[in-house]
Amino acid sequence: MTTFAESSSWHEQLAAGNEVALAVTAAEAGFAEPAKTATNLVLLQKVLANAELVTGLALKALTTADPDQALNNLERLSGTVDKTDLPIILCDQTSAGQLLTILGASPFLSGILCRRASFFAGLFRKNQINITKTEEQMCTELRGLIADDADMAALKQGLRTYKAQEMLRIGGRDLCGLAELEEVTDELSSLAAATLQRAFEVCSWMLQSDYGVPLLDSEKGTPAEEAEFTIFGMGKFGGCELNFSSDIDLIYFYSSDHGQTTGVTDPVRGQCNCISLHQYFVKLSEMITKAIGQATEDGFVFRVDLRLRPEGNRGEMANSLAAAEIYYESWGQSWERSAMLKARPVAGSKALGEQLLKRLEPFIYRRHLDYAMIDDIKLMKQKIDRSLTREKEGELNLKLGYGGIREIEFFIQALQLINAGKNPHLRERNSLRALQLLCAEALITVEETDNLTAAYRFLRTAEHRIQMVHEQQTHNLPTRPQELTALARRCGFTRADAFMADLQKHREKVSAVFRDLFY
């Protein structure tokens, strides 16, 4: 088969703009849509005026997940970025390879690059692709980007702009092999926490401008303290292991129902509009939810799911600590105990959140061996399996299906619920770290630990590489052969059958460990 490098007429074809001849050469090289690719190469040649460079880019594109898509997105990008920046990046072998990897793997990330020239400059000219950020750094950057007295429109726009910038950096590092899974999930979780914190700060300022400061009741002669608010991150958010396209599961809590806001006097009517603490914190919760989760022309920051709160969708938007404690101790169900294993204060007053978790320890962690929880978790999994059977997704779903991520999570949670009451050392929210602790306590073998760790990393990486295509919340393998091949290539495999063979091995090992515990 003739390759680009062997084609003696390649430079002449580019210089002459001969798309027909280029299409033939592109087809021989392995491009799936040679006519479109030929057009893109001719257009790139007009921009770059360097046939040797364009030839090299075409060869690099062949190593990406979708070579045709890589060149098509590069041509789009050439029309939006600084014309002096682009050749500099493309002449650097490392940067050119990283750029084409992103463009050939993710239309979502490619769209971010094409929409804002500053994002391209930041990622490559300012070397953001080689930078890791902490939650504190992200909070600092958000405070510089969004003013304290911003209105809701400015808050939403600022949060979404920052989210796009950071998703590009984190996703680019992931695709280019510059960050391990643990770093990627941790940074995604930090991004969610930082945007929530800034939303909380700005929404609090807006709300206090209307209703005054929320104060707790106090004894006569003693100054009233300001009531506090905390946001719990649940599930993968709580474990610092968010997906690339996760919902964030949140629960809102506040100090107490005893008190009210100081109010703001209406200059015309002379009325002071004080409201109760419950009313205030429900309003605050609604504002934060909209600031983060509402879709605008700039998209959303994160999808927000509040169904894990006390009484689910029927429950209050926000609950006081006392109300929460009464609910969980009186009516809390097995699945809520399991959910609370990963609960973590992520924004607002983290000290208040830790105080509530301490008060809920008797509910979450039983001192006696609670084997009934095993049956409850087994029933949860059986319901999932029946649902997948109805939807015909059992073999496709990496999260809920056979040998999937949920089986690993249920396995860890069951052992924690049984043993962590007497052994606080096992109270770890992060799945990979929890596996190491269970092994250290001889509750699972080294072989089981290694198998589950390897499977978790494989499954979560594949899940990310599925979701970052269009930022869709899906856990299913693609069914079209071409898309499955592209997924395999995004995951580091040259062929889909090799990827599927590895997937099957991991699934079998997970299923064996899961069934050994539960059945």
Confidence grade of residue 1 (pLDDT, cut at 50, 70, 90) = very low
pLDDT at 418: 86
pLDDT at 392: 63
Burial of 325 from C-beta contacts in 10 A (0-12 / 13-18 / 19+): middle
Q: Is the pTM of this model over 0.85?
A: yes
pLDDT at 389: 66
Given a cut of 70, is residue 169 above it in pLDDT? Answer: yes
pLDDT at 386: 74
pLDDT at 120: 95
Q: What is the pLDDT of residues 92-143, one digit of tens each?
A: 999 999 999 999 999 999 999 999 889 999 999 999 999 999 999 999 999 9
Cβ-Cβ contacts under 8 Å for 272 (sequence gap 6 or more): 263, 264, 265, 266
Confidence grade of residue 193 (pLDDT, cut at 50, 70, 90) = very high
Phi/psi at 453 (nearest 5 deg)? -65, -45
d(CA 70, CA 100): 6
Q: How far is C-alpha 371 from the chain's CA centre?
A: 33
Q: What is the pLDDT of residues 485-507, one digit of tens each?
A: 999 999 999 999 999 999 999 99
The mean predicted confidence, pLDDT, of the chain is 92
Q: How many CB atoms lie within 10 A of CB 8?
A: 7
Q: What is the pLDDT of residues 67-76, one digit of tens each?
A: 999 999 999 9
Confidence grade of residue 222 (pLDDT, cut at 50, 70, 90) = confident
Please give the structure tokens belonging to residue 447.
């072989």
